[in-house]
Amino acid sequence: MIFKSISFLTLALIAIGVSACGSPTAPVATTAPIPPTQVPPIAQPTLPPATAIPTVTFTPTLTRVPPTATTTPTRTLTPTPNPKTTLLNTLNAAIPSVKTYRVRVVEEGRFIGVVLPDRFQELENDFLMKIGPTLYRYDFAGTLQTFNMATPFFDRTNLLWWRDRLNQVTQVTTLPPTTIDKVPCVGFATNFVVTQIIPPKTPGPTPQTTQINQPVKVWLASDGLPRRVEMGAPTPLTINFMDYNEAFEINPP
């Protein structure tokens, strides 16, 4: 009896299963999510407290920068002009422009007209003329006389003679500026070597001669031409130059 009851139950269960397979799918029960397994945190090793690292203070080393080389500009030294060179260069530049001029020799009372290079004529005294080496004059009877002579009578009034004599001196110095006949001038000083003749104290002996230095001063205007020449002992003379390039002629009489 008991066996039959078990069999019947078994069949009933099978029937229920068969019935379930052939019928619509029954809703599936929702499975509750399984919470994740909590992993215990890994214990971190305990570090000993950090030892403070002392801060090192660095004193900056002063770097010595070599001084920049300062280039000293080369100083060009301008040589001081030689006064003699200045005097001669000035005369050489100015004289070629001169054709005529007049000269007054103060101590001798002579007033002379000059036509370069070699014509001279007394303008205020008795007639006297020199052209080249020929000297013209009248005698007491009024007769014209000519002399062929290289007389130095007019040399000191000749600009060319002065230029050549100044070229022979050894030393020239400058003088303070001055004004001559209202014309500003610059001056130069030098010495001429001249022969001094000493006459004998009694007739008969030969005159004595000696070489001496004669002081000379030359004054030039801004045009480079002389305005005055002063000569000292043994023959003091003051020679004034004027009337440059005025129109006049000197011709044989």
pLDDT digits (tens, 9 = 90+) for 183-228: 999 999 999 998 878 777 777 778 888 888 999 999 999 999 999 9
Helix (H) or strand (E) holding 18: helix 2-22
Residue 58, pLDDT above cutoff 70: no
* Amino acid (1-letter code) at residue 61: T
Q: Among 65-69, 152-156, 160-164, 233-237, which stretch is predicted with the lowest mean pLDDT?
A: 65-69
Residue 9, pLDDT above cutoff 50: no
Q: What is the mean pLDDT of residues 76-103?
A: 91
Three-state SS at 204: coil
Paired with 193 in beta bridges are: 213
Domain 83-242, CATH number (from 2.60.120.430, 2.50.20.20, 3.90.1310.10, 2.40.30.60): 2.50.20.20
Average pLDDT, the chain: 80
- Which sequence spans correspond to the domains of the chain? 83-242
Please state whether the predicted TM-score (pTM) of the whole model is above 0.75.
Answer: no
Q: Which of 98, 112, 91 is nearest to 163 (CA)?
A: 91
Report the pLDDT value the prediction gives residue 205, as an integer from 0 to 100: 74
* Amino acid (1-letter code) at residue 77: L
